[in-house]
Every structure is written in C-alpha cells, then in structure tokens.
Amino acid sequence: MGIFRDVQALENEVKFVFGEFSWNGTTVTKVIGRGYTIAHSATGKVLVTLQEKYPRLLYADCKLSLTTASAERQQLGAVNMGAGTVEFCNVNATPALANPSSTQTYYFVLALRRSDVR
C-alpha cells in the first residue's frame, strides 16, 4: 500500500496550506507549515503571505488552542488573492480587535484554487 498524498475535491486544482503560529502581543512566530510567511500587521491582526499566487480562496479557518475557556475568537479579515495575502483577526469579548495578552497557539487551513480554468 502506497503513501496517500492526494486529497480529492469536486473543484479542480485545489491546494491546501496548513499552518501553526505562536502569537504574543506584537510578536508572531511561524511554528510549522510550508508555502507561507506570517507577520503581525496591526492590532489584533496577522497577515499570511502565500509563496505562490492563487486566483481564488475557497475556504479559510483559524482556531486558537487554549487550556481554559476564553471569549477570544478568530475571524477572517482582508483577503487579497492578487497579492497572495489572507488576514486573520483576533477578537476579544468587547468585541474589538486585540492582540493576545499571553502567548497563544493558532492553527489555520486555507483551501486555494490553483487555476481559474475549469
């Protein structure tokens, strides 16, 4: 039995980018993942910059790993596929954009379409 390397999708030319990053205040550190860089872009925001250009974002998700309950949540911010960037926002209970007060670990997945050709 061979190694399973493909993911099947009804859409053509789909690629997935998975990542993990650590965020504490204005410091964002890439922990794991390929095909992207990450940076703190503004209060409560991180910017994922893809190493390749993709014409379409099909799906994005970001989760915060916590050991205790929190009112913090993540949401998708600005998406600019022409520039190859996707922004994730950290929202507190107020709700307002806020940097994490302590080091937090985030996991994300992006489903991207490689071509506009169907």
How far apart CA 98 and CA 64 sit, in angstroms, is: 14
Give residue 118's pLDDT. Answer: 59
Q: For 60-88, what is each residue's pLDDT tens digit? A: 999 988 777 778 889 999 999 999 999 99
CB 15 within 8 A of CB 114: yes
Between 2 and 78, name the one with better pLDDT.
78
pLDDT average, residue stretch 27-36: 90
Task: Quote the pLDDT of residue 51.
Answer: 95
Task: Identify which of 42, 32, 82, 80 has the alpha carbon closest to the alpha carbon of residue 60.
Answer: 80
Q: Average pLDDT, whole number, for the chain?
A: 88
Percent of the chain at pLDDT > 90 equals: 59
pLDDT digits (tens, 9 = 90+) for 85-118: 999 999 988 999 998 877 889 999 999 998 766 5
State mean pLDDT over 32-59.
Answer: 94
- Beta bridge partners, 38, equal 48
